[in-house]
A and B are shown apart, each in its own frame.
Chain A
Amino acid sequence: DVKVTQSSRYLVKRTGEKVFLECVQDMDHENMFWYRQDPGLGLRLIYFSYDVKMKEKGDIPEGYSVSREKKERFSLILESASTNQTSMYLCASRQTTVLSYEQYFGPGTRLTVT
């Protein structure tokens, strides 16, 4: 079974803090993704990575950066947290194959910025 784990289920941070969200997958997947989920908006893509040290911006990259130093790990960084970044953050991974576009998701991190 594919397992995607996220470092925290719940996180509370103060405005202006630097926040690190970690994601690890154990299936040697090439592609990894960060989304945020907000009510009425569904999942919105922040960044994705198709290989180590490679990254692409998604729909809402402003205020975020990412790091992928190892294949299994994809980190989302909030350089200076703001209250509008309070959200559920979901990490996903996927193997590069034309047979399936299925992504495997972690359980999510609910981040509250006060």
Chain B
Amino acid sequence: DQQVKQNSPSLSVQEGRISILNCDYTNSMFDYFLWYKKYPAEGPTFLISISSIKDKNEDGRFTVFLNKSAKHLSLHIVPSQPGDSAVYFCAASRDNYGQNFVFGPGTRLSVLP
């Protein structure tokens, strides 16, 4: 039973347009969420995070939105660049100490030049 879901296995976007990656979770007790990006043959790298006390967090071209009532978060990338092509994982913290995380299955983003 997946506690964190990313229902789109893949997404293709034209360079310069917005990419929107979605993530749904089942447990309303999750209170901290992160997005990671993973290139082939490399480990995931941290992209952006959000605490449940916020509904938006921005970092440059990346913005994460959190809708607690819907148990949904999304990552917006504007403008999308070819170098953004990677697998994106959504993750949720299952405790208050950041020691126990559950990850979604990932979405493969392809940004077309």
| Chain A interface residues toward B at CB < 8 A | 4, 9, 31, 33, 35, 40-45, 48, 50, 56, 58-59, 90, 92, 94, 96-98, 100-108
Contact of A50 among B44, B99, B102 (CB under 8 A): B99
B49 close to A42 (CB less than 8 A): no
B34 & A45 in contact (Cβ 8 Å cutoff): no
Q: How far is the CB of B18 from chain A (nearest CB, A)?
A: 24
CB distance from B44 to the nearest CB of A (A): 5
Give the residue name and chain of the A residue nearest to B9 (CB): A40
B34 surroundings in chain A (CB, below 8 A): 101-102
Check if B44 sits within 8 Å of A44, measured CB to CB: no
A101 B32 Cβ-Cβ under 8 A? yes
Instruction: Convert B28-57 into 0s and 1s, putting 1 for each residue whose CB lies closer than 8 angstroms to a CB of A.
Output: 000010101000011111100100000000
Contacting pair B46 A102 (CB below 8 A): yes
